[in-house]
Structure 1
Amino acid sequence: MHKRVRGSTLSFAIFAALMASNAVAQDATADTASAPADAQPASGKEATDLDSVIVTVERREQSLQKYAGTAQALSQDDLRGLGINNELRQMQVAVPGLSISNQEGATEVFIRGVGSSNNTELGDPGAAPHVNGAYIPRPRGLGGMFYDLERVEINKGPQGTLRGRNALAGTLNIVTKKPELGGQFSGYVQGEVGNRDQKGYETALNFPLGEYAALRFAGYHVEKNAGFKNVGLWQHLDPAGIQDDSAGRLSFLYEPDDKLSVFAMLDVGRELGTGYPGAGLFRAAQEGYTSEDIDMRDVIYRGVQGKVDNKLWGFQGTVRYDFGGVALEYNGSYRDVDYFQINAAADGNTWPGRDLRARPPGEPATWGGIDYDNFGTNYLQARSQSQTHELRLSSDDDARFRWTTGGFYFHEKQQVGFFALADKGAFYSGTEFTMPDVDGKSWAAFGDGTFDVNERLRVKGGVRYTDERKSRDGIGGNWTIGLGGDGGVFQTRLGTEGFKPTLLDRPSFDVTGLTSNADLARFLLQGVLQAGARDTMQQQLAGIVDGSRPNGTCVDRPDTGGNNVNCPANGQHSFLVLGVPSAQHGSSAFDFIDWRLGFEYDLSDRNLLYATVSTGHKAGGFNDSFDVNVIPETYKPEKLTAFEIGSKNSFEFLGRTSTFNVSGFYYDYDDQVFQDLSVIAFNPDGEATGFALVNRNVGKSELYGIEAESRLRFGGGFTLDLNALYLQTEIKEGMVADVRSQDFGNGGITSQIDLSGNDLPLSSKYTFNARLQQAIEFSRGTFDWQVLAAYRSSFFLTQYNDRDVIFLRDTAGTVDRIEDSATAGFPDEQKGFTQINAGAGFTTLDGAWRVEVWGSNLTNKDVSQKALVGSGVNTRFLNDARSYGVRVRWNF
């Protein structure tokens, strides 16, 4: 009964909002029509400006006010003025319902609570990123495209029919500035400086090639210090977040007439710095502190220096020819990403009273100090070569029946190496997943059309068939090194100064037939390209490989951890246990159909009413191999069906053109993928002794809400933009393993948790944006300023929603203890907050010069944009710290 009441209340609210918006707009139109001539706007400039905001959601250029759906477009000037500079995640402050985080170089986009956090080589984004409409499968370095832009489009709701797989939540499309035709040389040069030692430049040069062709070169460089601070004793380590980014782009456009258009673009980029590994809250939380109690940017760095080196380049081209009534268009792209990262190793955050002294060698962890001489960290090497091809045939934009049909092909090759090492490990020295051959393919056929029933009513529909295939070959699993001595197990030093893992340069990935200790030791040693200065593994294992010391060489040094173990008299280990990663062979194949239906009705020239039903899918996949004799478990594509009804309206307000748009939506989110538990080992009695996490389609969720936006123009050059979103999400099904409780010391045993009734992560119930702008004309130029205030109510960072953690004692499900999430180290809620961005500038009368100041996150709010949780892990990935600066721009 309660559920029906909520649904009927929402339906009534949507209906009332739609009717109110249309009534207001029609009344305003009527009042304007009957007003005296001198009360009318002097020109149509305001209306023209509003209608000129272009989006390409439906694969055709159209006015944002004429698009029957929810989308937002931010121009380059909008982004600059609000301090959104070469930092993709800053965009969420300007777009309600948008959440963007950067987890160790991987960009994650969520729209209205829907997205994906799977950043492995088998993962796919849940909101599809594009550059000039070309799909980007691995959005690493996407922020490096944020220069010399036309606009950035954010399309909310599934776009499966027109955009294909992985447009489950919507799409984000970066549209670059095209070369300008007309035979004139033009461009700009811009320089800027800011806090955190920021300095950078941006330039664009437009070269005419006659009247009908042109080249455009654009480039930028930015250097910026971290928003994090190293509060530990090892001050030679730079904190995470240092940027040193450069990029360049060359575009070509040829349009000899209104029939033929040829566009091509080559771009290159390089990102350097210290990476984005986040901040560890787990231990601070166990001490009773939340993220609001401490400075999340104060981190204790130790061991290895964090580093990121991302090299990327791409090429794309579009050829379009209008045959008269029918146009043929080909779009193709190629993108190459070569990403390498060393995680900035840390001992978490500090809190009041924490002992920051170094723990002396030989002292146990309970001593209270910090073991700075610990180089355990993660290494990641991720390469991707992807290509897309699309051929589209479409009718004329003025035809009564406007249709588009075509085919799409996508192919991606990846090579991925991941190594998480445990310095001073005993019986465990790390985890390696090295995949030299990851292959993904997809093809689709689609058709979409809009038919004018009459001058006011239009109906639309479309369908798309998609076939996808994935495969992977490589190795994955733990490095096991157990080296016995008198009184216990010797620890192994691995990863100290100068260490380099082999990763993709391994001489062999064949682990079949490795049975002898010599074979196992050889394979482990092949995983090290260069030993660290104080590593012991090579010395401990070398004798096993050459046979001189079958049980290895015992190395007893105080810096290995001081575990009070002595070497046997013969200098060899008293026992030896070695283990290597297992072979990984997996594949999956799925096909699915997306579709959409809807109508548009013009209540007047300024009032549009629409309703749509549309679907979207996120690609399926397969899990890791745990037994070479068992085919890895697969999971199906996720599916989302969306119902939306809305209205878009332009009207006269105080003699000026303004807008008010509102929409209501309902999402049915099915076959949702959550991590669950799988048994991978049994004892001789058949009892489960080993457990691992796998992805399974065990979830189902419901989402609904209302979104409204308005632009109001006042006298004195003032413009006020308002945008509000009410979003309700609920997980309806989802019995899964609670990774917070996983006990690796007991075979990986994990309790189960029923997520039903929980909110989806990153979904605020209320979001409100207000942006006030003013432009003032002076005799020597124009002064303008703007302030953006963005409010988000509280949201959960994971699907666990601060629920209690149940720890088990055995596989029979015996409860050992129950702890609330905070006590267990997993507080999960980000409190509501308001972020302020602002900017001001002066442009000379001839437009040649502009000076502006900008500031983002002016109140320096520390906001957790994502959490990565697991056994003993609660890592937060934060927004960018306060930044501000001044820039000078010369246009010519």
Structure 2
Amino acid sequence: MNLRHKLLYVAMSLAFAPATLYAADQDATVQNPSSRNPEAADKKVQNLDAVSVTATKRDTPLQKTPVAVTAITVDTLDRERVMTVQDLTKLVPGLQGTSQGDHGVVTLTLRGIGNDSAKTEYADPEVATFVDGVYAPRAEAASGLLLDMDGVEVLRGPQGTLWGRNSTAGAISFQTAKPDIGAGFYGNAQIEAGNYNQIGSRAAFNLPISNTFAMRVAVVHEQHDGYVDYQNPSSQLPTVAQQQQAYLASSASGGTLANFKPIDPGQYVQRGDKYNAQDQSAARVSALWQPSDSFKWNLSYEYFVDRGTPSMSLMQTPRQGQDFWSALIDTAPYLHRTSNTVRSRMDWNINDSMQLSYIAGYNSYSGKSDFDQDVGVSVPTSFTTNGVYQDDRTNDSNYKNWSQEINLKSTGPQTVDWILGAYYGYENNDIRFDIPIMNGTRYGTVSWQGSFIQPKETVESYALFGQATWHLSDHWRLTGGLRWSHDDKENKGGINWGWAYDPTVPQVPISPDVYPDPSNGFAISQRNTAKYSKSKPTWLIRLDTDISENGMLYASVSTGYKSGGTQDAGTLYKPESLTNYEVGSKFAFFDGHMTWNTAIYYEDFKNFQLSAPIVYPDGNHGLGFSNVGGSTKVLGFESELAYQQKDDRFNLIFSAIPKKKLGTLIYAGSNDYQGLPACPPQSNLANCMNVTGNDLPHAPDVSLTGIYEHTFHLGNGGRLTPRASAQYQSSQWLSYFNLGSGDKQKAYVRGDLSLRYSEPGDKWWVNAYVQNVSDEKTRTSAGRFQMSDGSLQYVSQYLAPRTYGVQVGVWF
């Protein structure tokens, strides 16, 4: 029995194990001691203005925190079935998630700022993610399961002062559930099943070991079949006679059929794991040691495995007779990821007015994957003509990172609240990525193929930071912050191998066990050894005031920063910086049962980094970085309205981004968009176009999410709670090229429904759900292929189709 099946067995066993059950409000969080007291739990849930956040690296009430932050409770994560970071998008104004099949990652855009290709060995995003205060540098981490969470905070706008580099557009802070020393043994478990053979189970329980030590154990397993069916090649391939005719007309034939062979339908995948399948498991063991009131140490180890499959790009217009959720596949999907993470936090209360904290983390990640990059768009007319076979294969990727932060801050009532800190982070990464591209089928001639081998790429980052809030009066506060960051990045021995077109070498796709060299037809196209080193300050100035007992206004100017780095051929690209001007308000009404938070912002972005797979004039491929000249400018407004009484909940989440203009970039290219015009020699690109002034992608003019639920009290004491949520988004571009309808997601509405029953003693509950009720086909990215007849065929990644299922949970 392998590990993920053991985790599934443990979770299901816990779900049905005999246990001493206690009554608690269904909305209470299990890790909170008040969850044992229904009245205390109910009071906490109902008073929305009592929700606290750590956006300023200290616990403060959400409604008294002058930062645009969305706080998502564990209850909302559960009811909205938030499994990954991409599921957060409908709950946060201006947040978008984009799937990338070839690397199997999710990239994030916030307030119009993001980068679809943040998937290199450095993988620097514009939206930083943290778990328990520990930075998670890998884009792959965004696809991990959200296991046993205590809540999520999404900080919108640059967070460069307190949270550091790569938080250019914002930061997402995940808080895991912690052990509880004084609450005794308790826990929860659930199982679920749904369409696409979906099954899932999760469990968590608190273990009080002594009056100074406790542990918490959490496990989860989620899986479902792939959404993309395999097309039958026999119904699409030409007859042998047609193949012979096409082969004779090709330059590869030499005018004879001497080397002709018919296309083998067996090379196309027709069974086995499908694309867009999930098979993920995770486990976390947490410990809390608190020997005194002045010291506590939280320590956790987390293990995550992903044995699902990448997500497939689909033809926007399927071939006649083919289903939309299907593709003609000649590369079987493969995904194999393993992650080990240790996180530690120590807090010392030095005295009544000062606290020292030490936060450290370590992560080791390894991954392999295989993806059909040609996505079955072109059907070959012979084994060497028209069709294209392209396999994007990560042979090995290994990423290790360490981080440490120490901060000293004031506590309790002070005229000046202050925090001082130092940060150190280090990454050591390596990867081999192969791209065989063949004419016709995998048995055809080589169109081009390459192997990108980066044996050692390192990142070393240092920072010093400080922030202070001066209480000018009982109602006015002035905040200033400054951070100095220094980054060193180095590529040691990186080589890009390209095809040398040697007629004496057999033309076969490169295999993972073959090292490229001249003897097998390869030549070095680029040497990537280089070093980048630069320092950068970021800062914050903010003024906020109370305008009533239940309202506040704030105005701020803040900056964010993402370092530059090295790229193919050892060239460097510049760091980017964002200056954000923002005015916001926060109000609470009806004794805290309703809150309304708004912000209007203007972003001025310098040297925006765009990266994309490109073709060079000599025919070799690589990953290119470009700095956008001038200023990229974004203007937006966002609003969050929440209402909650005992039996009713209502949320409106609104975002408007009427202005989102890219700066100056005359030569923009991407292999994902074939058919771009030829470029002049000075561009160092084979094909490109001028995208200056184009709209930013993943930034709809208007986005609105509405959520409502009502609890009906039944005669037997149980509760029945229907819940409905819907998201509307206006049309949005899917790339910087702004190429027309194929490069755009039209306006859409996606809706979810659920119905939950909780039994009278809150010992167990049942929930039935339907997500994407209307089965909306929602694009999150786009690309296009140029066909043999010169036409252009667009493909896209899509959000999941309609899914439904039933969950059963217990509290013990």
TM-score range, shorter chain: 0.7 to 0.9
> d(CA) in 2 for partners of 1:869 and 1:834?
25
Say if 2:440 is the partner of 1:440: no
> d(CA) in 2 for partners of 1:115 and 1:838?
30
* 1:584-623 equivalences in 2 (<5 Å): 584-623=528-567
* 1:623-662 equivalences in 2 (<5 Å): 623-625=567-569, 632-652=570-590, 657-662=593-598
| 5+ residue gaps, structure 1 | 1-41, 351-355, 510-518, 525-576, 626-631, 683-688, 803-820
Say if 2:40 is the partner of 1:96: no
From the superposition, tell whether residues 455 and 871 of structure 1 become closer, same or farther in structure 2 (CA, over 3 Å).
farther
> Who is 1:493 aligned against?
508
> d(CA) in 1 for partners of 2:689 and 2:786?
15
Say if 2:787 is the partner of 1:843: no
Cα distance, 1:207 vs structure 2: 0.6
Q: Amino acid of the residue matched to residue 891 of structure 1?
A: W
Match of 1:791 among 698, 716, 728: 728
Cα distance, 1:248 vs structure 2: 0.3
> Who is 1:243 aligned against?
278
Moved more, 50-59 or 693-702: 693-702
> d(CA) in 1 for partners of 2:615 and 2:308?
40
> d(CA) in 2 for partners of 1:596 and 1:55?
19
Cα distance, 1:48 vs structure 2: 5.8
Cα distance, 1:427 vs structure 2: 5.4
> d(CA) in 1 for partners of 2:500 and 2:139?
36
1:686-733 CA-partner distances (Å, limit 9, x unpaired): xxx99977423233211111112212346x822221121111211232
User: Contact 1:691 / 1:749 at 8 angstroms: preserved in 2?
Assistant: no
Cα distance, 1:91 vs structure 2: 1.8
Q: Amino acid of the residue matched to residue 299 of structure 1?
A: A
> Who is 1:82 aligned against?
80
Match of 2:770 among 855, 859, 875: 855
> d(CA) in 2 for partners of 1:677 and 1:228?
25
Q: Percent identity?
A: 24
Q: Amino acid of the residue matched to residue 152 of structure 1?
A: V
Moved more, 89-98 or 475-484: 475-484
SS in 1 for 2:161: helix
Match of 1:62 among 53, 60, 63: 60
Question: TM-score when scaled to structure 1?
Answer: 0.75
> d(CA) in 1 for partners of 2:432 and 2:613?
25
> Who is 1:777 aligned against?
713
> Who is 1:109 aligned against?
108
> Who is 1:252 aligned against?
287
> d(CA) in 1 for partners of 2:497 and 2:149?
45
Q: Amino acid of the residue matched to residue 574 of structure 2?
A: K
Match of 1:449 among 468, 471, 483: 468
* 1:512-551 equivalences in 2 (<5 Å): 520-521=518-519, 524=520
> d(CA) in 1 for partners of 2:226 and 2:748?
22
> d(CA) in 2 for partners of 1:264 and 1:692?
41
> d(CA) in 2 for partners of 1:429 and 1:888?
52
Cα distance, 1:675 vs structure 2: 5.5
Q: Amino acid of the residue matched to residue 320 of structure 1?
A: D
Cα distance, 1:494 vs structure 2: 2.5
1:831-877 CA-partner distances (Å, limit 9, x unpaired): 01111122221222322111111222222222121235688895522
> d(CA) in 2 for partners of 1:681 and 1:359?
28
Say if 2:317 is the partner of 1:298: no
Count of matched residue positions in the alignment of Structure 1 and Structure 2? 717
| 5+ residue gaps, structure 2 | 1-39, 234-268, 788-792
> d(CA) in 1 for partners of 2:292 and 2:65?
28
User: Contact 1:428 / 1:482 at 8 angstroms: preserved in 2?
Assistant: no
SS in 1 for 2:608: strand
> Who is 2:35 aligned against?
none
> Who is 2:259 aligned against?
none
SS in 1 for 2:303: strand
Match of 1:51 among 37, 49, 52: 49
Cα distance, 1:623 vs structure 2: 2.1
SS in 2 for 1:754: coil
Which has the greater radius of gyration? Answer: 1
> d(CA) in 1 for partners of 2:680 and 2:445?
16
Cα distance, 1:51 vs structure 2: 2.5
From the superposition, tell whether residues 842 and 447 of structure 1 become closer, same or farther in structure 2 (CA, over 3 Å).
same
Q: Amino acid of the residue matched to residue 639 of structure 1?
A: S
User: Contact 1:681 / 1:691 at 8 angstroms: preserved in 2?
Assistant: no
Q: Amino acid of the residue matched to residue 476 of structure 2?
A: L
> d(CA) in 1 for partners of 2:156 and 2:649?
24
Match of 1:867 among 765, 778, 782: 782
User: Contact 1:426 / 1:481 at 8 angstroms: preserved in 2?
Assistant: no
User: Contact 2:678 / 2:688 at 8 angstroms: preserved in 1?
Assistant: no
> Who is 1:829 aligned against?
744
> d(CA) in 1 for partners of 2:300 and 2:71?
22
User: Contact 2:370 / 2:391 at 8 angstroms: preserved in 1?
Assistant: no
> Who is 1:132 aligned against?
132
SS in 2 for 1:77: helix
From the superposition, tell whether residues 749 and 598 of structure 1 become closer, same or farther in structure 2 (CA, over 3 Å).
closer
Superposed CA RMSD: 3.1
> Who is 2:256 aligned against?
none
User: Contact 1:425 / 1:491 at 8 angstroms: preserved in 2?
Assistant: no
User: Contact 1:836 / 1:856 at 8 angstroms: preserved in 2?
Assistant: yes
* 1:318-717 equivalences in 2 (<5 Å): 318-324=345-351, 325-344=353-372, 347-348=375-376, 361=383, 364-365=385-386, 376-422=391-437, 423-424=442-443, 426=445, 428-484=447-503, 492-494=507-509, 500-501=512-513, 520-521=518-519, 524=520, 579-625=523-569, 632-652=570-590, 657-674=593-610, 694-699=624-629, 700-713=631-644, 717=647
Q: Amino acid of the residue matched to residue 400 of structure 1?
A: T
SS in 1 for 2:539: strand
User: Contact 1:742 / 1:871 at 8 angstroms: preserved in 2?
Assistant: no
Question: TM-score when scaled to structure 2?
Answer: 0.82
From the superposition, tell whether residues 786 and 426 of structure 1 become closer, same or farther in structure 2 (CA, over 3 Å).
same
> Who is 1:718 aligned against?
648
User: Contact 2:586 / 2:597 at 8 angstroms: preserved in 1?
Assistant: yes
Cα distance, 1:791 vs structure 2: 0.7
Say if 2:120 is the partner of 1:120: yes
Q: Amino acid of the residue matched to residue 849 of structure 1?
A: W
Q: Amino acid of the residue matched to residue 790 of structure 1?
A: Q
Q: Amino acid of the residue matched to residue 177 of structure 2?
A: K
Q: Amino acid of the residue matched to residue 888 of structure 1?
A: V
> Who is 1:163 aligned against?
163
> Who is 2:307 aligned against?
272
SS in 2 for 1:446: strand
Cα distance, 1:380 vs structure 2: 4.2
From the superposition, tell whether residues 786 and 380 of structure 1 become closer, same or farther in structure 2 (CA, over 3 Å).
farther
Q: Amino acid of the residue matched to residue 341 of structure 2?
A: G
SS in 2 for 1:608: strand
Cα distance, 1:139 vs structure 2: 3.2
Q: Amino acid of the residue matched to residue 268 of structure 1?
A: Y
> d(CA) in 2 for partners of 1:492 and 1:888?
55
1:326-384 CA-partner distances (Å, limit 9, x unpaired): 1111000001110110114654359xxxxx7x85657x43xxxx78xx57443342211
